[in-house]
Chain A
Amino acid sequence: MNAIETTKLTKYYGKSRGIVDVDLTVEQGEIFGFIGPNGAGKSTTIRTLLGLIHPTSGSATIFGKDITKDGPRIREDVGYLPSEVFYYDDMRAIDLLKYSASFYKKDPKTIEKRIRDLAELLDLDLKKKIDDLSYGNKKKVGIIQGLAHEPKLIILDEPTGGLDPLIQQQFFNLLREENAKGATILFSSHILSEVQRLCDRVAIIKDGTIIKVEQIKTLLENSTKRFTLEMVTAPDASRFKIEGVSDFQMTARSASFLFRGRINDVTRILAELDLTDLLVEEPDLEEIFLHYYEKDDSQ
């Protein structure tokens, strides 16, 4: 049984499209990434899965249960961290988390222990009032309320906004731990590097439709990197003419090119050179999407 399965899931807000004919399958136990530019439909898809908005047409199941009919039952096993967190200001963090725990059938004492463990790990003062928390700290509350009941499916919508790099690391470690225990993770983001770090497979969504679903490995292979070299003496240009190299330029002491393919092919060449400096630049998101838009348009 798949964790999530959507069939032609469609949502229109009046006349404007939210998502159109989205077919997604997320297998149990995988970490599935969901990337796309702002406004592509990531949040719409997630909100529809959670029952916060109703689909215009199409259907979806989570752990085999229909999202329209079995909402509350499904959400017993789901943990959700939204992109923007708002909680009841008059409550203290611990009160809110206990309130959150009270909705689940799991033993409250177990959940409370997990709350405290997580709070310690993320360095969150549980006694503070929600109102007095910084945005990042509110996000931590969000993480805890999403994970404390050890859900089988964790849905994250742009979760790392507002978190400092250290906490981000801990957060990702947490997610990996949960995944190791068998939890499925749906991770939506527009930050490619994060998705790369964490996910097994990824779906790319643009203008409301899924463009591609791919293994991360393949995505990485297909991503272009820019190499800029400084050398003692330049070798013959033909050395660089391997498959995957493009936009090659060379001067007396430097060279630069774009490369797409298996990194080892390039490093093998570079190892034989007399380098004084080497710069390898990651593609930015625009380059990636440009790539996919091109591919899409040409097909």
Chain B
Amino acid sequence: MNVYLREMKAHRIGLMWWCLGMIALVSSGMAKYAAYETAGGSITAIFDALPKAVLVVFGMQGFDLTKASGFFGVLFLYIAVMAAIHAALLGAGLISKEERDRTSEFLYAKPISRGTALTAKFLAGLTNVVVLNIATALSSVYFVDYFSKGAPVGNEITLLMVGLLFLQLIFFSMSALVAGVVKRPKAAPSIATSIMFLTFLIAYLVNMSEKLDFLKYVTPFKYFDALTLLTDGKLDPLYVGMSVLIVASSVVGTYRFYNARDLTV
């Protein structure tokens, strides 16, 4: 489809930089792992004895830092945040750019329905998100394996990356919805990323205090929490279900609202 190809071309260079950035993040993060390795197993016991809130300060509650995959779990939060930023900016940008750049009078005066254009944009966004995920996954597998001296890490990384993909899709679709609803195109990415940042903060709060545990349903970062995933070894069906629900309703909502409102000129 022409709109799909055009969007893919337009995002080419940006996607490349983001992939490179992710690779840099993973590689430099894992490079720090060396120091932990030398300290050995005694650390885990010590850390386990600390109050939860304190551990959160170091972002390392519960992880077995002597294993490369455990360390990667700590790194995962940062990976997730960067991927979330990418997804949010992508989702909001794809939908709002026509009105922001005033090309809507060109595109939507063509024999194309808004829905068709949205579909093409969603597909292009999906492609971008998946490519970033694959780049992250491949570099993660490579670097974790490199530093873990042979211990098999493939399964754990894959699990985390699947979780990451869900996370990306959630923020992508939610941000698209924001852009579909909001009439001022320049406001859309700000609102979308603010929501994302807020959920990130809430995730931190949940980590810090048991009393706030109920908030974990509000923030997607806790649906696919590295520690939980590594401990359980699988995805929680409840969270997967919630993710699917969020993504589906956001997508449907985007179509609904974007079709019904006037295009800002």
> What is A's interface to B at a CB cutoff of 8 Å?
13, 47, 50-54, 71-76, 78, 80, 82, 84-90, 99-100, 102-105, 145
Q: Does B110 contact A (CB under 8 A)?
A: yes
Taking the closest CB of chain B, its distance from the CB of A188, in whole angstroms, is 14
User: A53 to B261, alpha carbons, bound, how many Å?
Assistant: 7
- Stretch from B30-38, B99-107, B199-207 at the A interface: B99-107
- Across the interface, do B106 and A100 meet the contact criterion of CB distance under 8 Å? yes
- A145 contact set on B, CB distance < 8 A: 106
> What is B's interface to A at a CB cutoff of 8 Å?
2, 6, 10, 101-106, 108-113, 116, 260-263, 265
User: A110 to B188, alpha carbons, bound, how many Å?
Assistant: 40
- B108 contact set on A, CB distance < 8 A: 50-52
- Across the interface, do A72 and B105 meet the contact criterion of CB distance under 8 Å? no
User: A145 to B110, alpha carbons, bound, how many Å?
Assistant: 10
- A88 contact set on B, CB distance < 8 A: 6, 10, 101, 103
- Across the interface, do A87 and B106 meet the contact criterion of CB distance under 8 Å? yes
- B116 contact set on A, CB distance < 8 A: 72
Taking the closest CB of chain A, its distance from the CB of B117, in whole angstroms, is 10
Interface contacts beyond A72-B111, A87-B106, A88-B101: sample of 12 additional A-B pairs, CB < 8 Å, sorted by A:
A52-B262, A52-B263, A53-B263, A54-B262, A71-B113, A75-B109, A75-B112, A82-B109, A86-B106, A90-B10, A99-B2, A99-B6
Closest to B113 in A: A72
Closest to A88 in B: B103
Most buried by A among B103, B105, B116, B260: B105
- Across the interface, do B111 and A75 meet the contact criterion of CB distance under 8 Å? yes
- B106 contact set on A, CB distance < 8 A: 82, 85-87, 100, 145
> Can you list 29 residue pairs at the A/B interface with Cβ under 8 Å?
A47-B265, A50-B108, A52-B104, A52-B265, A54-B262, A71-B113, A72-B111, A72-B113, A75-B109, A75-B110, A75-B112, A80-B105, A80-B109, A84-B102, A86-B102, A86-B106, A87-B106, A88-B10, A88-B101, A89-B101, A90-B10, A99-B6, A100-B106, A100-B110, A102-B2, A103-B110, A103-B111, A105-B111, A145-B106
Taking the closest CB of chain B, its distance from the CB of A14, in whole angstroms, is 11
- A86 contact set on B, CB distance < 8 A: 101-103, 105-106
User: A47 to B264, alpha carbons, bound, how many Å?
Assistant: 11
Contact partner of A54 (CB less than 8 A), chosen from B101, B103, B109, B260, is B260
Taking the closest CB of chain A, its distance from the CB of B52, in whole angstroms, is 50
Closest to A79 in B: B109
Closest to A90 in B: B10
User: A63 to B121, alpha carbons, bound, how many Å?
Assistant: 30
Taking the closest CB of chain A, its distance from the CB of B124, in whole angstroms, is 14
- B102 contact set on A, CB distance < 8 A: 84, 86
Closest to A18 in B: B262
Taking the closest CB of chain A, its distance from the CB of B223, in whole angstroms, is 37
- B104 contact set on A, CB distance < 8 A: 52
